[in-house]
Structure 1
Amino acid sequence: MLLRILDRLEEIIIAGLMGAATVITFITVVHRFLVSVPALYPYLFGINFGWSQELCIYMFIWMAKFGAAYGVRTGIHVGVDVLINRLNDRWRKGVILFGLAGGALFTAIVGTMGAKFVIELMGTDQVSPDLELPSWLVYACIPLGSYLMCFRFLQVMWAYYWTNELPHHDATHVDDIEVSAKAPISLGEA
């Protein structure tokens, strides 16, 4: 139950940030063009969207950190397994578990270093240039996203150890596309 809530929260954060950044960027671009219309200039010139670029950058950084954790959970995170798939089952399992443990260790270290950095920033009055957000708030995505990604590596590692199943995303599956023996790439056999 708790994992389902975490899964949905992760997806809501990613989709919400992506949607909000898209809307803010769209409004900023429309404003830029409409302000050049002489009749609208007096009304729109006073509206300042100088902060929008900084906000969208922060939103995309947060989205990337949480998106990486989502990628580990769903099996769409980048992985090179051409040689690993050629190993016998015993060696393959060991190498995969070692790789997942390495990912967990790396993200735990990054999360801990990020948490240390954020805690140090909390003691300062440093703010972002345009939005004047506390800098620790901007950088909080580093420990939060890294620890979430570490948890996802451990979650995948635990499941793989007991089931020999890794999460995977079937890139060859597209709704409403006919699969036939004449098109081996659509069956994932090429």
Structure 2
Amino acid sequence: MKFLDHLEEWIIAFLMGAATLVTFVAVLHRYASGLDVIPGLQDWLITLNTSWAQEITIYMFVWMAKFGAAYGVRTGIHVGVDVLINKLNTPWRNKFIVIGLMCGALFTGIVGTLGFNFVRDLSHTTSSSEVLELPMWMVYSAVPLGSYLMCFRFLQVAWRFIKTGDLPKHDHAHVEGIENEDIEGSKA
């Protein structure tokens, strides 16, 4: 289950790397197609079709956004308005935090279910993307998958909060895998 702890990072990193590579290849192709330095290269490059690059990159960014929201819930960086809740005394504050987390889980569960039904209905059609001709149900699968993962993360945070009283806090100065070292001690 350790893999599930960082599922969002793996998905986002893969999609970001793939989108960067696809964009790089498309831009390189665009500019190299205008060069007539090497005989025959320009003619060959013009025959290659990279019009699909923009479409697939857009789809990858949509998927990144859905899984990025789940990452935000898990790490405590998702948008939340808790100014008034933090002013309450501890028992009331804790109750409202649990209610808020459960409302988040309920909302994302509903969105996931509506998305699932939409994708299921779409899978019985011939609807496909314009350039890649991907079945649109594959493209829209980001909605139920990302929403259900976000729902799971809300429930996970709520469970941890109920058991420990701790909410995830994102430390912008911390880099995963790099331990804090005493800088003065390492100079000696």
**TM-score normalised per structure 2:** 0.87
Q: Does 1:100 align with 2:98?
A: no
CA–CA distance in structure 2, aligned partners of residues 63 and 152 of structure 1: 16
What does residue 149 of structure 2 align with?
A: 148
Residues 1-190 of structure 1: matches in 2 within 5 Å?
Answer: 2=1, 4-39=2-37, 40-171=41-172
CA–CA distance in structure 2, aligned partners of residues 99 and 92 of structure 1: 10
SS at match of 1:132: coil
Amino acid at match of 2:168: P
CA–CA distance in structure 2, aligned partners of residues 8 and 98 of structure 1: 26
How far the C-alpha of 1:80 sits from its partner, in A, is 2.3
SS at match of 1:45: helix
CA–CA distance in structure 2, aligned partners of residues 84 and 9 of structure 1: 30
Amino acid at match of 1:97: V
CA–CA distance in structure 2, aligned partners of residues 77 and 34 of structure 1: 42
How far the C-alpha of 1:162 sits from its partner, in A, is 1.1
CA–CA distance in structure 2, aligned partners of residues 85 and 44 of structure 1: 60
How far the C-alpha of 1:13 sits from its partner, in A, is 1.1
User: Can you give the 5+ residue segments of structure 1 that lack an aligned partner in the other structure?
Assistant: 177-190
SS at match of 1:83: helix
User: Can you give the 5+ residue segments of structure 2 that lack an aligned partner in the other structure?
Assistant: 181-188
Q: Number of paired residues?
A: 175
| Bigger mean CA offset, 13-22 vs 30-39 | 30-39
CA–CA distance in structure 1, aligned partners of residues 19 and 136 of structure 2: 20
How far the C-alpha of 1:35 sits from its partner, in A, is 1.2
How far the C-alpha of 1:82 sits from its partner, in A, is 2.4
CA–CA distance in structure 1, aligned partners of residues 77 and 101 of structure 2: 14
Q: CA 1:66 to 1:124, structure 2 compared with 1: closer, same or farther past 3 Å?
A: same
Q: How well do the aligned residues superpose, as a CA RMSD in angstroms?
A: 1.8
Deviation per residue, 1:17-70 (Å, 9 max, x gap): 011001111111121111111234223111111001110011111111111111
CA–CA distance in structure 2, aligned partners of residues 80 and 34 of structure 1: 49
| Bigger mean CA offset, 102-111 vs 88-97 | 88-97
